[in-house]
Chains A and B, each alone.
Chain A
Amino acid sequence: MKLIYILSILFAFLCCNLISSKDILADNKYSEIEVPDGGTIIGNVKYMGELAAVGLNLYRGWELSDTSKLNSEKLVFSKVNNGLKNAVVSLKDITQGKKTIIPPVHPIIDQQNNNFIPHTIAIVSGTTVDFLNGDEQMHNIHTRSARNQPFNLGTTYKQRISKTFDYPEIIKLTCDLHKNAYAWIVVLDHPYFDTTDRNGYFEICDIPPGTYTFQVWHEELGNLEKEVTVRPKETTTIEFVYSQN
Protein backbone atom coordinates (compact mmCIF):
# COMPACT_ATOMS: atom_id res chain seq x y z
CA MET A 1 0.00 0.00 0.00
CA LYS A 2 2.79 2.34 0.97
CA LEU A 3 4.53 1.58 -2.28
CA ILE A 4 1.48 2.60 -4.29
CA TYR A 5 1.35 5.94 -2.47
CA ILE A 6 4.98 6.63 -3.12
CA LEU A 7 4.64 5.64 -6.72
CA SER A 8 1.58 7.82 -7.25
CA ILE A 9 3.36 10.81 -5.69
CA LEU A 10 6.34 10.21 -7.92
CA PHE A 11 4.09 9.95 -10.96
CA ALA A 12 2.31 13.20 -10.11
CA PHE A 13 5.66 14.91 -9.66
CA LEU A 14 6.85 13.66 -13.04
CA CYS A 15 3.65 14.88 -14.71
CA CYS A 16 4.09 18.35 -13.21
CA ASN A 17 7.64 18.43 -14.45
CA LEU A 18 6.61 17.44 -17.93
CA ILE A 19 3.90 20.09 -18.12
CA SER A 20 6.10 22.88 -16.81
CA SER A 21 8.93 22.00 -19.17
CA LYS A 22 6.49 22.07 -22.08
CA ASP A 23 5.39 25.57 -21.07
CA ILE A 24 8.97 26.77 -21.10
CA LEU A 25 9.63 25.18 -24.47
CA ALA A 26 6.56 26.79 -26.02
CA ASP A 27 8.07 30.25 -25.38
CA ASN A 28 4.86 31.93 -26.46
CA LYS A 29 4.25 35.51 -25.41
CA TYR A 30 0.90 35.73 -27.16
CA SER A 31 -2.22 34.83 -25.17
CA GLU A 32 -5.71 34.36 -26.55
CA ILE A 33 -8.68 36.33 -25.21
CA GLU A 34 -12.23 37.10 -26.33
CA VAL A 35 -12.37 40.23 -28.50
CA PRO A 36 -16.03 41.36 -28.49
CA ASP A 37 -15.46 44.94 -29.66
CA GLY A 38 -12.43 44.68 -31.88
CA GLY A 39 -11.53 47.40 -34.34
CA THR A 40 -10.47 47.00 -37.96
CA ILE A 41 -7.55 48.54 -39.76
CA ILE A 42 -7.59 48.81 -43.52
CA GLY A 43 -4.97 50.56 -45.53
CA ASN A 44 -2.62 50.84 -48.41
CA VAL A 45 1.12 50.41 -48.80
CA LYS A 46 2.58 52.70 -51.45
CA TYR A 47 5.89 52.91 -53.19
CA MET A 48 6.94 56.42 -54.17
CA GLY A 49 10.62 55.81 -54.82
CA GLU A 50 12.76 56.54 -57.81
CA LEU A 51 11.29 53.81 -59.98
CA ALA A 52 7.70 54.64 -59.05
CA ALA A 53 6.49 56.49 -62.12
CA VAL A 54 8.55 54.65 -64.68
CA GLY A 55 7.01 55.15 -68.10
CA LEU A 56 5.12 58.21 -66.95
CA ASN A 57 7.97 60.57 -66.14
CA LEU A 58 8.34 62.75 -69.22
CA TYR A 59 11.22 64.79 -67.83
CA ARG A 60 13.66 61.91 -67.82
CA GLY A 61 14.22 62.20 -71.54
CA TRP A 62 16.23 59.41 -73.11
CA GLU A 63 17.94 58.48 -69.88
CA LEU A 64 15.69 55.78 -68.63
CA SER A 65 15.89 54.69 -65.03
CA ASP A 66 17.24 51.29 -64.04
CA THR A 67 14.41 48.90 -64.75
CA SER A 68 16.25 45.69 -63.92
CA LYS A 69 14.45 45.57 -60.60
CA LEU A 70 11.10 45.75 -62.31
CA ASN A 71 11.62 42.67 -64.43
CA SER A 72 11.87 40.40 -61.44
CA GLU A 73 9.41 40.02 -58.61
CA LYS A 74 11.62 42.04 -56.29
CA LEU A 75 9.54 45.15 -56.59
CA VAL A 76 6.00 44.82 -57.90
CA PHE A 77 3.67 47.79 -57.67
CA SER A 78 0.51 48.93 -59.35
CA LYS A 79 0.85 51.42 -62.19
CA VAL A 80 -2.45 53.00 -61.17
CA ASN A 81 -2.00 53.91 -57.50
CA ASN A 82 1.62 52.84 -56.83
CA GLY A 83 0.33 50.23 -54.40
CA LEU A 84 3.07 47.81 -53.40
CA LYS A 85 2.50 44.09 -53.76
CA ASN A 86 4.00 41.38 -51.53
CA ALA A 87 4.52 43.52 -48.43
CA VAL A 88 3.61 41.99 -45.07
CA VAL A 89 1.79 44.23 -42.59
CA SER A 90 1.69 43.08 -38.98
CA LEU A 91 1.19 44.32 -35.45
CA LYS A 92 4.36 44.58 -33.45
CA ASP A 93 4.57 43.42 -29.83
CA ILE A 94 0.96 42.40 -29.42
CA THR A 95 0.55 40.26 -26.31
CA GLN A 96 -3.10 39.26 -26.34
CA GLY A 97 -5.87 39.10 -28.88
CA LYS A 98 -8.12 36.92 -30.98
CA LYS A 99 -7.88 33.17 -31.25
CA THR A 100 -5.13 31.85 -33.48
CA ILE A 101 -6.55 29.64 -36.19
CA ILE A 102 -4.06 27.39 -37.91
CA PRO A 103 -5.49 26.89 -41.42
CA PRO A 104 -6.68 23.28 -41.85
CA VAL A 105 -6.20 23.65 -45.60
CA HIS A 106 -2.48 24.07 -46.09
CA PRO A 107 -1.29 27.19 -47.91
CA ILE A 108 0.47 26.29 -51.15
CA ILE A 109 3.69 27.46 -52.75
CA ASP A 110 3.87 26.18 -56.30
CA GLN A 111 6.80 26.19 -58.70
CA GLN A 112 5.64 27.08 -62.19
CA ASN A 113 7.81 28.14 -65.13
CA ASN A 114 10.84 28.22 -62.83
CA ASN A 115 9.17 30.61 -60.41
CA PHE A 116 7.63 30.35 -56.98
CA ILE A 117 3.94 31.24 -56.84
CA PRO A 118 3.00 33.10 -54.67
CA HIS A 119 6.13 35.11 -54.09
CA THR A 120 5.47 36.00 -50.44
CA ILE A 121 3.23 34.36 -47.89
CA ALA A 122 2.65 35.25 -44.26
CA ILE A 123 1.62 32.47 -41.89
CA VAL A 124 1.08 32.03 -38.18
CA SER A 125 3.52 29.72 -36.42
CA GLY A 126 2.42 26.10 -36.47
CA THR A 127 1.07 26.29 -40.01
CA THR A 128 1.95 23.57 -42.50
CA VAL A 129 2.85 24.76 -45.98
CA ASP A 130 2.61 22.49 -49.03
CA PHE A 131 5.29 22.84 -51.70
CA LEU A 132 4.32 21.69 -55.18
CA ASN A 133 6.18 21.30 -58.42
CA GLY A 134 4.10 22.14 -61.49
CA ASP A 135 6.97 21.97 -63.97
CA GLU A 136 7.96 18.90 -65.89
CA GLN A 137 11.49 19.20 -64.62
CA MET A 138 13.54 18.93 -61.48
CA HIS A 139 13.49 21.68 -58.86
CA ASN A 140 14.68 21.95 -55.33
CA ILE A 141 13.38 23.83 -52.32
CA HIS A 142 16.14 25.23 -50.17
CA THR A 143 15.54 27.20 -46.96
CA ARG A 144 18.13 28.83 -44.76
CA SER A 145 16.18 29.24 -41.54
CA ALA A 146 17.87 29.12 -38.15
CA ARG A 147 15.18 28.34 -35.56
CA ASN A 148 12.89 26.36 -37.83
CA GLN A 149 14.65 23.32 -39.16
CA PRO A 150 16.12 24.21 -42.56
CA PHE A 151 15.71 21.78 -45.43
CA ASN A 152 16.86 21.25 -49.00
CA LEU A 153 14.70 18.79 -50.88
CA GLY A 154 14.65 17.85 -54.54
CA THR A 155 11.21 17.72 -56.16
CA THR A 156 10.04 16.23 -59.43
CA TYR A 157 6.84 16.83 -61.40
CA LYS A 158 3.64 16.69 -59.31
CA GLN A 159 5.52 16.17 -56.07
CA ARG A 160 3.91 17.55 -52.91
CA ILE A 161 6.00 18.20 -49.80
CA SER A 162 4.48 19.37 -46.52
CA LYS A 163 6.53 21.24 -43.95
CA THR A 164 5.48 22.81 -40.66
CA PHE A 165 6.95 26.10 -39.44
CA ASP A 166 6.88 26.40 -35.67
CA TYR A 167 8.90 29.51 -34.84
CA PRO A 168 8.51 33.16 -35.91
CA GLU A 169 11.10 33.93 -38.55
CA ILE A 170 11.51 35.41 -42.03
CA ILE A 171 12.62 32.59 -44.31
CA LYS A 172 13.98 32.80 -47.83
CA LEU A 173 13.18 29.95 -50.17
CA THR A 174 15.35 29.33 -53.20
CA CYS A 175 15.73 26.86 -56.04
CA ASP A 176 19.42 26.24 -56.72
CA LEU A 177 18.79 25.01 -60.26
CA HIS A 178 17.08 28.26 -61.23
CA LYS A 179 18.89 31.16 -59.63
CA ASN A 180 16.14 33.71 -60.32
CA ALA A 181 13.50 31.78 -58.44
CA TYR A 182 12.96 32.59 -54.80
CA ALA A 183 10.13 33.19 -52.39
CA TRP A 184 9.61 34.40 -48.84
CA ILE A 185 7.76 32.83 -45.94
CA VAL A 186 7.08 35.20 -43.06
CA VAL A 187 6.21 33.26 -39.90
CA LEU A 188 4.60 35.28 -37.10
CA ASP A 189 3.56 34.23 -33.61
CA HIS A 190 0.15 36.00 -33.64
CA PRO A 191 -2.74 36.15 -36.13
CA TYR A 192 -2.68 39.93 -36.75
CA PHE A 193 -1.05 40.23 -40.16
CA ASP A 194 -1.86 40.49 -43.85
CA THR A 195 -0.04 40.39 -47.16
CA THR A 196 -0.80 43.27 -49.51
CA ASP A 197 -2.60 42.50 -52.77
CA ARG A 198 -1.54 43.77 -56.19
CA ASN A 199 -2.89 47.24 -55.44
CA GLY A 200 -1.19 47.42 -52.06
CA TYR A 201 -4.32 46.99 -49.96
CA PHE A 202 -4.52 45.08 -46.70
CA GLU A 203 -7.03 44.50 -43.92
CA ILE A 204 -6.54 43.39 -40.31
CA CYS A 205 -9.64 42.88 -38.17
CA ASP A 206 -10.72 42.08 -34.59
CA ILE A 207 -7.95 44.05 -32.93
CA PRO A 208 -8.52 44.76 -29.22
CA PRO A 209 -8.87 48.56 -28.77
CA GLY A 210 -5.66 50.39 -27.90
CA THR A 211 -2.60 51.93 -29.45
CA TYR A 212 -0.28 49.67 -31.42
CA THR A 213 2.77 49.87 -33.57
CA PHE A 214 2.12 48.62 -37.09
CA GLN A 215 5.03 47.26 -39.07
CA VAL A 216 5.45 46.69 -42.79
CA TRP A 217 8.11 44.37 -44.10
CA HIS A 218 9.21 44.27 -47.71
CA GLU A 219 12.08 42.19 -49.05
CA GLU A 220 13.66 45.02 -51.04
CA LEU A 221 12.55 48.16 -49.21
CA GLY A 222 12.90 47.03 -45.59
CA ASN A 223 10.72 47.94 -42.63
CA LEU A 224 8.37 50.81 -41.90
CA GLU A 225 6.63 51.49 -38.60
CA LYS A 226 3.65 53.57 -37.57
CA GLU A 227 1.70 54.11 -34.33
CA VAL A 228 -2.05 53.70 -34.76
CA THR A 229 -4.90 53.90 -32.27
CA VAL A 230 -7.57 51.26 -32.75
CA ARG A 231 -11.08 52.27 -31.59
CA PRO A 232 -13.69 49.65 -30.68
CA LYS A 233 -15.96 48.54 -33.56
CA GLU A 234 -14.57 51.15 -35.91
CA THR A 235 -12.66 50.95 -39.13
CA THR A 236 -9.53 53.05 -39.36
CA THR A 237 -7.71 53.73 -42.60
CA ILE A 238 -3.92 54.10 -42.62
CA GLU A 239 -1.30 54.51 -45.29
CA PHE A 240 2.35 53.49 -45.46
CA VAL A 241 4.62 55.18 -47.97
CA TYR A 242 8.07 53.93 -48.98
CA SER A 243 9.80 56.98 -50.31
CA GLN A 244 13.38 55.68 -50.42
CA ASN A 245 14.69 53.18 -52.87
Chain B
Amino acid sequence: MKPKVLLDKVGFWCATAVTSAALMLSIAPMTASAVNIPTEVTELGKDTYKKYCSPCHGEEGKGDGPLARSMLPKPRDFTRGAYKFRTTPSGSLPTDEDIYRTISYGVPNSTMIPWDILTEEQRVSVIPVLKSFSEAFEVRKPDAPVTVGLPLRPTERALTEGKKIYEEKLECWKCHGVEGRGDGPSAAEQEDDFGFPIKPFDFTTGKFKGGNSAQDVYLRFTTGLNGTPMPSFAKELTDEERWCLTYYVMSLIKPEETKK
Protein backbone atom coordinates (compact mmCIF):
# COMPACT_ATOMS: atom_id res chain seq x y z
CA MET B 1 0.00 0.00 0.00
CA LYS B 2 1.29 3.43 -0.89
CA PRO B 3 1.91 5.77 2.04
CA LYS B 4 -0.51 8.36 0.61
CA VAL B 5 -3.39 5.89 0.39
CA LEU B 6 -2.65 4.73 3.91
CA LEU B 7 -2.71 8.31 5.15
CA ASP B 8 -6.01 8.88 3.37
CA LYS B 9 -7.53 5.81 4.95
CA VAL B 10 -6.35 6.70 8.43
CA GLY B 11 -7.53 10.23 7.94
CA PHE B 12 -10.98 9.06 6.85
CA TRP B 13 -11.41 6.82 9.87
CA CYS B 14 -10.17 9.52 12.21
CA ALA B 15 -12.66 11.97 10.78
CA THR B 16 -15.47 9.42 11.09
CA ALA B 17 -14.57 8.74 14.71
CA VAL B 18 -14.47 12.42 15.60
CA THR B 19 -17.79 13.12 13.86
CA SER B 20 -19.55 10.19 15.45
CA ALA B 21 -18.22 11.15 18.87
CA ALA B 22 -19.46 14.69 18.36
CA LEU B 23 -22.83 13.36 17.26
CA MET B 24 -23.07 11.08 20.27
CA LEU B 25 -22.33 14.00 22.58
CA SER B 26 -24.93 16.19 20.95
CA ILE B 27 -27.57 13.46 21.07
CA ALA B 28 -26.89 12.62 24.70
CA PRO B 29 -29.19 14.79 26.82
CA MET B 30 -27.43 17.49 28.74
CA THR B 31 -28.67 16.30 32.09
CA ALA B 32 -27.00 16.02 35.41
CA SER B 33 -25.87 12.50 34.63
CA ALA B 34 -22.90 14.16 32.98
CA VAL B 35 -22.02 15.66 36.36
CA ASN B 36 -20.00 13.79 38.91
CA ILE B 37 -22.04 13.68 42.11
CA PRO B 38 -20.07 12.82 45.27
CA THR B 39 -21.43 10.15 47.60
CA GLU B 40 -19.76 11.37 50.79
CA VAL B 41 -20.35 14.57 52.74
CA THR B 42 -17.41 16.90 52.11
CA GLU B 43 -16.18 20.03 53.85
CA LEU B 44 -17.08 22.05 50.78
CA GLY B 45 -20.63 20.69 50.90
CA LYS B 46 -21.02 21.57 54.57
CA ASP B 47 -19.68 25.08 54.02
CA THR B 48 -21.89 25.69 50.99
CA TYR B 49 -24.96 24.42 52.82
CA LYS B 50 -24.26 26.56 55.86
CA LYS B 51 -23.66 29.69 53.82
CA TYR B 52 -26.36 29.48 51.16
CA CYS B 53 -29.01 26.95 52.24
CA SER B 54 -29.27 27.06 56.03
CA PRO B 55 -30.73 30.62 56.29
CA CYS B 56 -34.01 29.15 54.97
CA HIS B 57 -33.72 25.39 55.31
CA GLY B 58 -32.16 25.48 58.79
CA GLU B 59 -28.89 24.19 60.18
CA GLU B 60 -30.29 20.69 60.59
CA GLY B 61 -32.39 20.69 57.44
CA LYS B 62 -35.69 20.96 59.27
CA GLY B 63 -36.89 23.84 57.12
CA ASP B 64 -36.77 26.20 60.11
CA GLY B 65 -34.04 28.68 59.26
CA PRO B 66 -34.31 32.29 60.50
CA LEU B 67 -35.84 33.45 57.20
CA ALA B 68 -38.37 30.63 56.96
CA ARG B 69 -41.03 32.27 59.11
CA SER B 70 -42.03 34.84 56.56
CA MET B 71 -42.24 32.42 53.66
CA LEU B 72 -45.09 30.59 52.03
CA PRO B 73 -44.58 28.02 50.56
CA LYS B 74 -42.27 27.02 53.38
CA PRO B 75 -38.71 25.89 52.71
CA ARG B 76 -38.54 22.12 52.43
CA ASP B 77 -37.98 20.04 55.55
CA PHE B 78 -35.36 17.52 54.47
CA THR B 79 -35.77 15.17 57.44
CA ARG B 80 -38.65 13.23 55.85
CA GLY B 81 -36.94 12.62 52.54
CA ALA B 82 -40.05 13.95 50.77
CA TYR B 83 -38.97 15.80 47.63
CA LYS B 84 -41.50 17.37 45.30
CA PHE B 85 -39.82 17.33 41.92
CA ARG B 86 -38.66 13.87 40.96
CA THR B 87 -38.52 11.48 38.07
CA THR B 88 -39.21 8.53 40.42
CA PRO B 89 -42.67 7.08 41.27
CA SER B 90 -44.91 8.47 44.01
CA GLY B 91 -43.45 8.26 47.50
CA SER B 92 -40.03 7.22 46.30
CA LEU B 93 -36.88 9.11 47.18
CA PRO B 94 -35.45 11.30 44.44
CA THR B 95 -32.40 10.44 42.40
CA ASP B 96 -29.31 12.62 42.86
CA GLU B 97 -29.96 14.12 39.43
CA ASP B 98 -33.44 15.24 40.52
CA ILE B 99 -32.02 17.12 43.50
CA TYR B 100 -29.34 18.64 41.30
CA ARG B 101 -31.97 19.79 38.81
CA THR B 102 -34.04 21.55 41.48
CA ILE B 103 -30.97 23.27 42.93
CA SER B 104 -29.81 24.44 39.51
CA TYR B 105 -33.17 25.55 38.11
CA GLY B 106 -34.84 26.69 41.32
CA VAL B 107 -38.58 26.68 41.93
CA PRO B 108 -40.57 29.48 40.26
CA ASN B 109 -43.26 31.21 42.37
CA SER B 110 -41.28 30.52 45.52
CA THR B 111 -38.22 31.90 47.26
CA MET B 112 -36.02 29.11 45.91
CA ILE B 113 -33.90 30.83 43.27
CA PRO B 114 -31.92 29.04 40.56
CA TRP B 115 -28.57 28.52 42.22
CA ASP B 116 -26.58 28.84 39.04
CA ILE B 117 -24.63 31.63 40.74
CA LEU B 118 -22.74 28.85 42.51
CA THR B 119 -20.20 26.73 40.71
CA GLU B 120 -21.21 23.29 39.58
CA GLU B 121 -18.85 21.78 42.15
CA GLN B 122 -20.55 23.66 44.98
CA ARG B 123 -24.06 22.69 43.85
CA VAL B 124 -23.12 19.06 43.56
CA SER B 125 -21.39 18.99 46.95
CA VAL B 126 -24.62 19.97 48.74
CA ILE B 127 -26.52 16.86 47.60
CA PRO B 128 -24.89 14.38 50.08
CA VAL B 129 -25.46 16.95 52.85
CA LEU B 130 -29.19 17.12 52.07
CA LYS B 131 -29.41 13.34 52.00
CA SER B 132 -27.63 13.03 55.35
CA PHE B 133 -30.50 14.90 57.08
CA SER B 134 -32.99 12.11 56.46
CA GLU B 135 -32.68 8.56 57.67
CA ALA B 136 -34.99 7.53 54.84
CA PHE B 137 -31.98 7.47 52.53
CA GLU B 138 -30.37 4.83 54.78
CA VAL B 139 -33.46 2.62 54.94
CA ARG B 140 -34.76 2.93 51.39
CA LYS B 141 -33.32 3.35 47.93
CA PRO B 142 -34.83 5.53 45.21
CA ASP B 143 -36.93 3.56 42.73
CA ALA B 144 -36.06 3.53 39.06
CA PRO B 145 -37.18 6.68 37.20
CA VAL B 146 -40.49 6.38 35.34
CA THR B 147 -40.29 6.03 31.59
CA VAL B 148 -41.63 8.96 29.62
CA GLY B 149 -43.29 7.80 26.42
CA LEU B 150 -42.84 9.37 23.02
CA PRO B 151 -44.62 12.73 22.88
CA LEU B 152 -47.92 12.88 21.04
CA ARG B 153 -48.55 15.72 18.60
CA PRO B 154 -50.50 18.52 20.29
CA THR B 155 -53.55 18.35 18.04
CA GLU B 156 -57.09 19.63 18.54
CA ARG B 157 -58.21 16.08 19.32
CA ALA B 158 -55.55 15.73 22.04
CA LEU B 159 -56.82 18.93 23.66
CA THR B 160 -60.46 17.78 23.73
CA GLU B 161 -59.35 14.45 25.13
CA GLY B 162 -57.28 16.26 27.76
CA LYS B 163 -60.22 18.48 28.70
CA LYS B 164 -62.37 15.40 29.23
CA ILE B 165 -59.77 13.91 31.58
CA TYR B 166 -59.35 17.21 33.44
CA GLU B 167 -63.05 17.74 33.97
CA GLU B 168 -64.59 14.26 34.15
CA LYS B 169 -62.13 11.46 34.67
CA LEU B 170 -59.64 12.81 37.20
CA GLU B 171 -61.66 15.81 38.36
CA CYS B 172 -58.56 17.99 38.54
CA TRP B 173 -60.87 21.01 38.75
CA LYS B 174 -61.83 20.08 42.32
CA CYS B 175 -58.58 21.66 43.45
CA HIS B 176 -57.16 23.45 40.42
CA GLY B 177 -60.44 25.06 39.31
CA VAL B 178 -62.29 24.77 36.01
CA GLU B 179 -60.16 27.48 34.42
CA GLY B 180 -57.01 26.20 36.09
CA ARG B 181 -56.65 29.16 38.41
CA GLY B 182 -56.14 27.02 41.49
CA ASP B 183 -59.51 28.00 42.93
CA GLY B 184 -61.50 24.74 42.95
CA PRO B 185 -63.98 23.90 45.73
CA SER B 186 -61.45 21.80 47.69
CA ALA B 187 -58.61 24.31 47.20
CA ALA B 188 -58.98 26.22 50.44
CA GLU B 189 -58.65 23.27 52.80
CA GLN B 190 -55.49 21.72 51.36
CA GLU B 191 -52.47 21.33 53.59
CA ASP B 192 -49.13 19.59 53.13
CA ASP B 193 -47.58 16.78 55.16
CA PHE B 194 -46.03 19.27 57.55
CA GLY B 195 -49.36 20.90 58.39
CA PHE B 196 -48.87 24.13 56.43
CA PRO B 197 -51.59 25.40 54.10
CA ILE B 198 -50.77 24.85 50.45
CA LYS B 199 -52.28 26.39 47.32
CA PRO B 200 -53.12 24.27 44.29
CA PHE B 201 -51.09 25.44 41.31
CA ASP B 202 -52.47 28.23 39.13
CA PHE B 203 -51.91 27.02 35.56
CA THR B 204 -52.69 30.40 34.02
CA THR B 205 -49.40 31.85 35.28
CA GLY B 206 -47.49 29.35 33.18
CA LYS B 207 -44.59 29.22 35.62
CA PHE B 208 -44.60 25.48 36.21
CA LYS B 209 -42.64 24.74 39.34
CA GLY B 210 -40.95 21.62 38.12
CA GLY B 211 -40.04 23.01 34.70
CA ASN B 212 -41.90 24.36 31.71
CA SER B 213 -41.38 21.67 29.09
CA ALA B 214 -44.15 19.23 28.16
CA GLN B 215 -42.05 16.42 29.58
CA ASP B 216 -41.81 18.16 32.96
CA VAL B 217 -45.57 18.64 33.14
CA TYR B 218 -46.05 15.00 32.14
CA LEU B 219 -43.72 13.93 34.96
CA ARG B 220 -45.53 16.01 37.60
CA PHE B 221 -48.82 14.15 37.46
CA THR B 222 -47.16 10.83 36.73
CA THR B 223 -44.93 10.97 39.81
CA GLY B 224 -47.01 13.25 42.03
CA LEU B 225 -45.47 15.78 44.39
CA ASN B 226 -44.28 14.07 47.58
CA GLY B 227 -45.31 15.77 50.78
CA THR B 228 -48.23 17.58 49.14
CA PRO B 229 -51.85 16.57 48.39
CA MET B 230 -50.99 16.21 44.68
CA PRO B 231 -51.25 12.48 43.97
CA SER B 232 -49.68 10.38 41.26
CA PHE B 233 -51.95 9.24 38.44
CA ALA B 234 -49.63 6.50 37.28
CA LYS B 235 -52.33 3.85 37.66
CA GLU B 236 -55.12 5.84 36.07
CA LEU B 237 -53.84 7.11 32.76
CA THR B 238 -52.36 5.50 29.69
CA ASP B 239 -49.36 7.12 28.09
CA GLU B 240 -51.49 8.75 25.40
CA GLU B 241 -53.95 10.16 27.92
CA ARG B 242 -51.10 11.69 29.87
CA TRP B 243 -49.82 13.60 26.85
CA CYS B 244 -53.39 14.79 26.15
CA LEU B 245 -53.69 16.07 29.72
CA THR B 246 -50.24 17.66 29.49
CA TYR B 247 -51.22 19.66 26.41
CA TYR B 248 -54.58 20.62 27.88
CA VAL B 249 -52.97 21.87 31.09
CA MET B 250 -50.44 23.85 29.07
CA SER B 251 -53.25 25.32 26.97
CA LEU B 252 -54.69 26.86 30.15
CA ILE B 253 -51.77 29.31 30.31
CA LYS B 254 -53.01 32.87 29.81
CA PRO B 255 -50.40 35.10 28.13
CA GLU B 256 -51.51 38.20 30.02
CA GLU B 257 -51.08 36.37 33.36
CA THR B 258 -47.55 35.26 32.61
CA LYS B 259 -46.33 38.86 32.45
CA LYS B 260 -47.32 39.58 36.04
Across-interface contacts of B229 in A (CB, < 8 A): 140, 142, 152, 176
> A150 touching B226 by the CB < 8 A rule?
yes
Per the CB 8 Å criterion, the residue count for chain B at the interface is 29
Contact string against A for B residues 214-236, beta-carbon threshold 8 Å, 1 for contact and 0 otherwise: 00000000001010111111111
Q: Which residue of B lies closest to A27 (CB)?
A: B139
Across-interface contacts of B231 in A (CB, < 8 A): 140-142, 152-154, 176
> A156 touching B92 by the CB < 8 A rule?
no
Q: Which residue of A lies closest to B189 (CB)?
A: A179
> A151 touching B232 by the CB < 8 A rule?
yes
Cβ of B174 under 8 Å from chain A:
yes
Given known A-B contacts A144-B193, A146-B80, A156 and B170 have beta carbons under 8 A apart: yes
Given known A-B contacts A138-B170, A176-B229, A177-B174, A151 and B190 have beta carbons under 8 A apart: no
Q: Which chain A residues (166-182) contact chain B, with CB distance < 8 Å? A: 167, 176-177, 179
Q: Which chain B residues (217-260) contact chain A, with CB distance < 8 Å? A: 224, 226, 228-236
Cβ of B186 under 8 Å from chain A:
yes
> B236 touching A155 by the CB < 8 A rule?
yes
CA distance A118 to B232 in the complex (A): 24
Cβ of A2 under 8 Å from chain B:
no
Q: Which residue of A lies closest to B169 (CB)?
A: A156
> B236 touching A154 by the CB < 8 A rule?
yes
> A152 touching B90 by the CB < 8 A rule?
yes
Cβ of A147 under 8 Å from chain B:
yes
Instruction: State the main secondary structure of chain A at its contact with B.
Output: loop
Cβ of A137 under 8 Å from chain B:
yes
Cβ of A243 under 8 Å from chain B:
no
Contact string against B for A residues 116-153, beta-carbon threshold 8 Å, 1 for contact and 0 otherwise: 00000000000000000000011011111011011111
Contacts between the two chains (Cβ within 8 Å), count: 65
> B235 touching A159 by the CB < 8 A rule?
yes
Given known A-B contacts A140-B229, A159-B236, A177-B174, A153 and B186 have beta carbons under 8 A apart: no
Min C-beta distance of B126 to chain A, whole Å: 23
Across-interface contacts of A177 in B (CB, < 8 A): 171, 174-175, 186
Across-interface contacts of B2 in A (CB, < 8 A): none
Q: Which residue of B lies closest to A149 (CB)?
A: B91
Cβ of B82 under 8 Å from chain A:
yes
> B226 touching A153 by the CB < 8 A rule?
no
> A154 touching B233 by the CB < 8 A rule?
yes
CA distance A142 to B227 in the complex (A): 9
Across-interface contacts of B90 in A (CB, < 8 A): 151-153
Selected from A137, A153, A159, A176, the residue in CB contact (under 8 A) with B171 is A137
Cβ of A228 under 8 Å from chain B:
no
Q: Which residue of A lies closest to B221 (CB)?
A: A154
Contact string against A for B residues 37-77, beta-carbon threshold 8 Å, 1 for contact and 0 otherwise: 00000000000000000000000000000000000000000
Min C-beta distance of B176 to chain A, whole Å: 12
> B91 touching A156 by the CB < 8 A rule?
no
Across-interface contacts of A141 in B (CB, < 8 A): 231
Across-interface contacts of A204 in B (CB, < 8 A): none
Contact string against A for B residues 110-148, beta-carbon threshold 8 Å, 1 for contact and 0 otherwise: 000000000000000000000000011001100000000
Cβ of A35 under 8 Å from chain B:
no
> B186 touching A156 by the CB < 8 A rule?
no
CA distance A108 to B64 in the complex (A): 39
Given known A-B contacts A138-B170, A177-B174, A177-B186, A152 and B232 have beta carbons under 8 A apart: yes
Contact string against A for B residues 71-109, beta-carbon threshold 8 Å, 1 for contact and 0 otherwise: 000000000101000000011100000000000000000
> B174 touching A153 by the CB < 8 A rule?
no
Selected from A137, A151, A154, A159, the residue in CB contact (under 8 A) with B91 is A151
A interface with B by C-beta (< 8 Å): 137-138, 140-144, 146-147, 149-156, 159, 161, 167, 176-177, 179
Nearest 3 CB-CB pairs, A to B? A176-B229, A151-B91, A140-B231
